[in-house]
């Protein structure tokens, strides 16, 4: 007996889940496919799920088959969610499985009743949601469909229908879905525009996923021994982060750089905390793949970026597209690519003459031209030069100091060590963003972490102080909130310091 394609839709009130369900039914029937749909309304907009379940036969014509009225755990082929927490709800209930389910979901959030009622920040951890989505589904198509609906002038259910069409999980041509929208007769033009946007974005997501899979497969031979080493040395709870770090750093630099990543993690593994190892592995991979000119050039000339840009501007295949990249490097960014001795002399001269942080060089490159693309590709090809640059050597020294602080803090308090590991979130980007983040981190290291490691603060108070300082720095990169937070920490820790003395 042929098996149907099973579809589960989770929606909020007002998102048009019923209309989406009707569109799918109409499109399936127009192709002679057997289809059955069940609508299960929730008790309220956010206290109960509003779900729609469909089963669509994969081939047309009369067939001896029985279609179910309700979804079965582990038996859903396609799950659609108009909001991220609805995707999490379906995962929690067991309908989404990594062996079978394609999950199509919007990444925007609409707070649930429990989140709104919380006295403090009661919002659910989006990072946990996204991690669950990627770990618990076979294929994912994720983007902000609410924003897409706004940009296209349509509504979110039409974007979701387009994403479903783009997933190619149903034996229904695009024209049949478009005909279903026209047949409904409501906001036809805007809904068709939203449908096209969602379809294009979904196909771009799947093409990028295929390219990344092929890239990983082609590079798997070079890192197999490193992954095997990680599996022997590290606990299973951290392996997803560690293995992703190995692949990331191999692509960023080379295999020996990924081996250095594992060497550094070995010193953290010796501390005996799996949770600390996982968090350090995550932040260490990001820190070691820091943003520099080479990295930026790689990203801006990647094939998938052009596909994504064409999808975002909704350019048709026959329409020309021009992309102009704007760069404004300063003396520091230029020196970052030079040998350390030369870079230090130029920086000292620039600071002495008042040019540091004031002189910038504006450049515009059109990467859709041969000359503009070739210039960026040349920069991207300088990966071999990166270990000899001033920025690379300075960054490695900063990373080693950060890891030394984690290792020194662990015997005092694992919570303190974990907060120090989390403080790496401050250091990101390049240019002024990187400079401000590094300055804020160094202030926290000098005024909170160093006193804590010297025993002038209790470990529990130090962990809270590092967390509060980090939150303040992230909320206000200019440093005003951080200054106030550090002043309050100093006033609280001073009596303890005096008593110790």
The structural domains of the chain, with segments of one domain joined by +, span 5-211, 314-388, 394-501
Which tokens in the block code for residue 340? 């350390």
Mean pLDDT of the chain: 84
| Structure confidence at residue 499 (pLDDT) | 47
Distance (Å, whole) CA 477 – CA 431? 13
Bridge partners (DSSP) listed for residue 8: 53, 79
Distance (Å, whole) CA 66 – CA 57? 10
| Structure confidence at residue 213 (pLDDT) | 57
Distance (Å, whole) CA 423 – CA 316? 44
Contact, 275 vs 269, CB < 8 A? no
Percent of the chain with pLDDT over 70: 89
Bridge partners (DSSP) listed for residue 448: none
Q: In a 3-state reduction of DSSP, which class is residue 66?
A: coil
Positive or negative: CA dihedral 145, 150, 151, 152: positive
| Structure confidence at residue 220 (pLDDT) | 47
Q: How many CA atoms lie within 13 A of 409 on its CB side?
A: 32
Instruction: Show the low-confidence residues of the chain (pLDDT under 50).
Output: 45-47, 219-221, 495-496, 499-500
Ramachandran sector of residue 429 (left: φ over 0; alpha: ψ -120 to 50; beta: rest): left
Which tokens in the block code for residue 265? 């993690």
Contact, 456 vs 493, CB < 8 A? yes
CATH class of 5-211: alpha beta
**pLDDT tens sequence across 82-125:** 888 888 888 888 899 888 999 998 888 877 766 676 666 667 77
Write out the H or E segment, with its range, that includes residue 324. strand 324-327
């Amino acid at each position: 007996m042929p098996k149907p394609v099973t579809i589960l839709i989770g929606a909020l009130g007002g998102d048009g889940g019923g209309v989406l369900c009707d569109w799918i039914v109409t499109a399936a029937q127009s192709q002679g496919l057997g289809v059955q749909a069940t609508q299960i309304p929730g008790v309220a907009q956010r206290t109960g799920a509003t779900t729609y379940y469909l089963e669509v036969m994969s081939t047309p014509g009369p067939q001896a088959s029985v279609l179910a009225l309700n979804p079965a755990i582990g038996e859903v082929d396609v799950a659609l969610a108009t909001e991220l927490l609805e995707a999490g709800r379906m995962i929690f209930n067991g309908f989404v499985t990594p062996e079978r389910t394609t999950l199509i979901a919007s990444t925007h959030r609409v707070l649930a009743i429990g989140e709104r009622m919380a006295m403090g920040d009661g919002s659910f951890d989006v990072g946990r949601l996204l991690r669950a989505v990627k770990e618990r589904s076979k294929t994912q198509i994720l983007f902000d469909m609410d924003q897409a609906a706004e940009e296209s002038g349509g509504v979110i259910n039409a974007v979701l229908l387009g994403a479903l069409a783009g997933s190619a999980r149903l034996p229904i041509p695009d024209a049949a879905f478009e005909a279903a929208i026209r047949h409904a007769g409501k906001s036809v033009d805007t809904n068709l525009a939203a449908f096209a946007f969602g379809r294009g974005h979904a196909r771009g997501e799947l093409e990028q996923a295929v390219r990344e899979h092929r890239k990983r497969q082609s590079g798997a031979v070079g890192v197999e021994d490193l992954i095997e080493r990680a599996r022997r040395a590290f606990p299973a709870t951290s392996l997803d982060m560690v293995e992703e770090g190995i692949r990331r750093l191999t692509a960023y630099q080379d295999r020996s750089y990924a081996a250095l990543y594992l060497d550094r993690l070995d010193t953290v593994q010796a501390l005996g905390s799996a949770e600390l190892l996982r968090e350090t592995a995550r932040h260490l991979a990001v820190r070691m793949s820091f943003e520099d000119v080479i990295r930026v050039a790689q990203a801006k000339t990647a094939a998938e970026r052009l596909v994504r840009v064409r999808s975002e501007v909704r350019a048709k295949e026959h329409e020309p597209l021009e992309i102009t990249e704007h760069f404004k490097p300063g003396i520091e960014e230029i020196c970052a690519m030079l040998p350390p001795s030369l870079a230090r002399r130029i920086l000292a001269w620039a600071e002495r003459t008042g040019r540091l942080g004031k002189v910038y060089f504006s450049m515009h490159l059109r990467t859709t031209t041969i000359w503009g693309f070739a210039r960026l590709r040349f920069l991207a090809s300088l990966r071999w030069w990166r270990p000899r640059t001033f920025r690379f050597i300075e960054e490695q020294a900063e990373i080693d100091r950060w890891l030394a602080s984690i290792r020194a803090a662990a015997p005092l308090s694992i919570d303190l060590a974990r907060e120090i590991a989390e403080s790496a979130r401050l250091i990101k980007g390049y240019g002024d963003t990187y400079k401000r983040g590094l300055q804020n981190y160094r202030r926290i290291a000098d005024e909170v972490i160093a006193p804590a490691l010297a025993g002038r603060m209790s470990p529990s108070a130090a962990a809270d102080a590092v967390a509060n300082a980090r939150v303040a720095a992230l909320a206000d990169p200019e440093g005003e909130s951080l200054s106030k937070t550090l002043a309050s920490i100093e006033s609280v820790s001073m009596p303890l310091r005096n008593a110790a003395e």
